[in-house]
């Protein structure tokens, strides 16, 4: 099996980080991989913001938990609390993919960028998890404040986020594959 396929097979959603900062060289390499993502008609409807301000990530985390706790349906809040009470799992870095709502494929293109970020991070020995829930603090009571800090203007939207960092515990496993979900038309 080649290195790319090994990386894809080994990658898993890391939900526990030790909080150590990630080296700038690794962040630059991941950002380059993100920018190399294909997009429909090469529109590249994204911007990538790399948040390494741990206090900002922690503030967004706390805000998210407050938003979840305030919901009538507490199931998501309770689920996160059962995992340690941190929606961003003590990650020291968050890649936020911001989309320009142009064309019909901007959301799909942001997904491709997110996958490139995740696979690049894994290839560099970093844990990662694709995190759509990073949108919660942007839509909450402090949303405008967070959007301003990140640089999400009126003409831009949240696309996706990927948390990146060193794993707090090693040995995470990728999910089991279900080969019954593949079929050939011959």
What is the per-residue pLDDT across 133-144, written as a single tens digit (0 to 9) for each? 999 999 999 999
Question: For residue 128, what pLDDT is reported?
Answer: 97
Categorize the per-residue pLDDT at 173 as very low, low, confident or very high, splitting at 50, 70 and 90.
confident
Tell me the CA distances in angstroms from 133 to 9, 48, 86, 87, one per residue in order.
24, 17, 12, 8
Categorize the per-residue pLDDT at 50 as very low, low, confident or very high, splitting at 50, 70 and 90.
very high
- Beta-carbon contacts of 74 under 8 Å, excluding residues fewer than 6 positions away, are 68
Sign of the alpha-carbon torsion through 55, 23, 96, 71: negative
Q: What is the mean pLDDT of residues 175-179?
A: 82
H-helix or E-strand spanning residue 75:
helix 75-82
Domains parsed from the chain with CATH numbers: 3-167 (3.40.109.10)
pTM of the model: 0.93
- In tens, the pLDDT along 75-95 reads 999 999 998 899 999 999 999
């Amino acid at each position: 099996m080649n290195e790319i396929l090994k990386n894809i097979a080994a990658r898993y959603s890391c939900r526990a980080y030790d909080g150590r900062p990630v080296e700038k060289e690794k962040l630059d390499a991941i950002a380059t991989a993100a920018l190399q993502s294909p997009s429909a008609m090469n529109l590249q409807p994204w911007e990538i913001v790399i948040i390494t301000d741990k206090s900002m990530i922690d503030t967004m985390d706390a805000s998210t938990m407050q938003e979840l706790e305030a919901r009538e349906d507490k199931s998501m809040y309770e689920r996160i609390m059962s995992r340690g009470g941190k929606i961003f799992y003590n990650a020291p870095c968050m890649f936020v993919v911001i989309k320009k709502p142009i064309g019909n494929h901007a959301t799909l293109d942001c997904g491709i960028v997110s996958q490139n970020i995740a696979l690049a991070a894994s290839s560099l020995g970093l844990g990662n998890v694709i995190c759509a829930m990073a949108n919660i603090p942007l839509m909450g009571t402090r949303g405008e404040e967070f959007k301003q800090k990140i640089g999400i203007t009126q003409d831009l939207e949240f696309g996706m986020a990927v948390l990146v960092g060193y794993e707090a515990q090693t040995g995470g496993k990728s999910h089991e594959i279900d080969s019954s979900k593949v079929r050939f038309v011959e």
